[in-house]
Amino acid sequence: MNEKMSQAPLLEVKHLRKLFPAKSGFLSKEKTFIKAVDDVSFTLMPRETLGVVGESGCGKSTMGRSVLRLIQPTSGEILYKGQDFMKLSGADLRRVRSEMQIIFQDPYASLNPRMTVGEIIAEPLNIQKKYSSKEETRDHVVKAMEVVGLNPKYYTRYPHEFSGGQRQRIGIARAIVLEPSLIVCDEPVSALDVSIQSQVLNLLKDLQSSMGMAYIFISHNLSVIKHISDRVMVMYLGHVVEMAKKTELFSNPSHPYTQALMSAIPLPERHSKRKKIILQGDLPSPANPPSGCIFHTRCFMAQEICSTQKPELKDIGGGHYCACHFCGKCQQGE
């Protein structure tokens, strides 16, 4: 822990925004935008796992992709090891990119069906022109396959010959082959059966302790997030509503949305005494987000002020951030 504190951040993201043009009625002149990510800031330390959780459509994937500039952010600042990542181009961009990788949810869609497993895993090495000889590249790929638990004899097979869990291992091998410092894991276990999910989660944790990369781990599953993360960020409609160290967040969830999310998980235990907070209604449209606090239309604690005034994301103690006019700790503090 202390070691982490004394280090410089690996990544600093400041006021990141990503807007998509929304389809507007053909008579309306006004252009409207989907505010997929709206003013997100965080830092990530080396070797740290930041869990990102929230309902589908809240902007998790857009955030993860914007941070890697796989899609161009609308505005904001991204500092990677202190360098301004937004301003990099050409060879510099390529070099920094090689230190950042992404793993996708759907191992089926994200692997090129016409390439062999060996070619898929070698691709990042070839793009970076890492090795001049084929043999060296091959040795490296084989090593990566062994590390993720894929038998190297599958080198010349095609992705469709593999199960979901094995395809996810191929995706992971591809992501680690350049020994990156940062991997964005976008719902990497969401499409897997629970028995395979636990195998992949263990693998990701093992790789982190042996190779030392940081993860931005995106999931809609709070139990998975709790297992894997050091710190957790809760998103709602493109905004961060709460962020804290994992143990703090789970023992003291302060935003009503976080509380509702936690209470809604069905726990595998009988006659749970837990009181469920059942949110009413659906997620509002990010093209037309509610005024004031973006959560007020579904919030069980909302007061008048919530529909008019936007609560700031503020530190309510020890690096626990919460954006709510009435969150438990804010009240005590005032």
Partner 1 sequence: MGEKILEVKHLKTYFHTDAGLSRAVNDVSFSVEKGKTLGIVGESGCGKSITSLSIMGLVEIPPGEIAGGEIIFEGEDLLKKSEDEMNKIRGKKIAMIFQEPMTSLNPVFTIGQQITEALMLHETLTKKQARERGIEMLKMVKIPLAEKRFDEYPHQLSGGMRQRVMIAMALCCNPDLLICDEPTTALDVTIQAQILELINELKEKTGTSVMMITHDLGVIAEVADDVMVMYAGKVVEHATGDQIFEKPMHPYTEGLMHCIPKLDDDDTQRLSVIEGMVPSFDDMPAGCAFCPRCPEARQICRERMPELAEAQGRMVRCFKYTQEWEESGE
Ligand X SMILES: Nc1ncnc2c1ncn2[C@@H]1O[C@H](COP(=O)(O)OP(=O)(O)O)[C@@H](O)[C@H]1O
Give yes or no for residue 1 binding partner 1 (CB under 8 A). no
Site string for partner 1, 208-237 (x = CB under 8 A): ------------x-xxx-xxx---------
Token pair of 129 as six digits = 């022109």
The C-alpha atoms of residue 102 and residue 218 are separated, in whole angstroms, by 11
Give yes or no for residue 73 binding ligand X (CB under 6 A). no
Site for partner 1 in 136-165 (CB under 8 A): 163, 165
Give yes or no for residue 62 binding Mg ion (CB under 5 A). no
Token pair of 282 as six digits = 């659906």
Site for partner 1 in 281-320 (CB under 8 A): 281-283
* In the complex, minimum distance from the CB of residue 186 to partner 1, in angstroms, rounded to a whole number: 16
179 binds, among Mg ion, partner 1, ligand X, none (CB under 5 to 8 A by kind): none
Question: According to CB under 6 A, which one of 9, 171, 286, 311 is a site residue for ligand X?
Answer: 286
Contacts for 40 with CB less than 8 Å, ≥ 6 apart: 13, 15, 16, 17, 59, 63, 76, 235, 238, 239, 240
Give yes or no for residue 171 binding ligand X (CB under 6 A). no
278 binds, among Mg ion, ligand X, partner 1, none (CB under 5 to 8 A by kind): partner 1
Give yes or no for residue 61 binding Mg ion (CB under 5 A). yes
Give yes or no for residue 66 binding Mg ion (CB under 5 A). no
Site for ligand X in 41-60 (CB under 6 A): 54, 56-60
Give yes or no for residue 270 binding partner 1 (CB under 8 A). yes
The C-alpha atoms of residue 321 and residue 249 are separated, in whole angstroms, by 10
Contacts for 280 with CB less than 8 Å, ≥ 6 apart: 298
How far CA 132 is from CA of 6, 92, 116, 175, 277, in Å, comes to 38, 20, 20, 20, 59
Question: According to CB under 6 A, which one of 9, 50, 61, 232 is a site residue for ligand X?
Answer: 61
Q: 100 or 279, CB closer to partner 1?
A: 279
Question: According to CB under 6 A, which one of 49, 62, 66, 297 is a site residue for ligand X?
Answer: 62
The C-alpha atoms of residue 65 and residue 304 are separated, in whole angstroms, by 36
Contacts for 222 with CB less than 8 Å, ≥ 6 apart: 53, 261, 262, 265
Give me the residue label for tokens 């969150």.
Answer: 327
**Longest Cα separation, the chain:** 68
301 binds, among Mg ion, partner 1, ligand X, none (CB under 5 to 8 A by kind): none
* In the complex, minimum distance from the CB of residue 136 to Mg ion, in angstroms, rounded to a whole number: 36
Q: 196 or 211, CB closer to Mg ion?
A: 196
Site for partner 1 in 69-108 (CB under 8 A): none
DSSP annotation string for 42-99: EEE-TT-EEEEE--TTSSHHHHHHHHTTSS--SEEEEEETTEEGGG--HHHHHHHHTT
Site string for partner 1, 174-203 (x = CB under 8 A): -------------------xxxxxxx-xx-
- b/e string for 179-212 if b means 16 or more Cβ within 10 A? ebbbbbbbbbbebbeeebbebbbebbeebbeeee
What are the respective helix, strand and coil percentages of the chain, to the nearest 5?
35, 20, 45
265 binds, among ligand X, Mg ion, partner 1, none (CB under 5 to 8 A by kind): partner 1
Handedness of CA 75, 76, 79, 84 (dihedral sign): positive
The contact set with Mg ion (CB under 5 A) reads 61
The contact set with partner 1 (CB under 8 A) reads 55-56, 163, 165, 193-199, 201-202, 205, 220, 222-224, 226-228, 246, 250, 260-270, 272, 276, 278-283
The contact set with ligand X (CB under 6 A) reads 20, 34, 36, 54, 56-62, 286
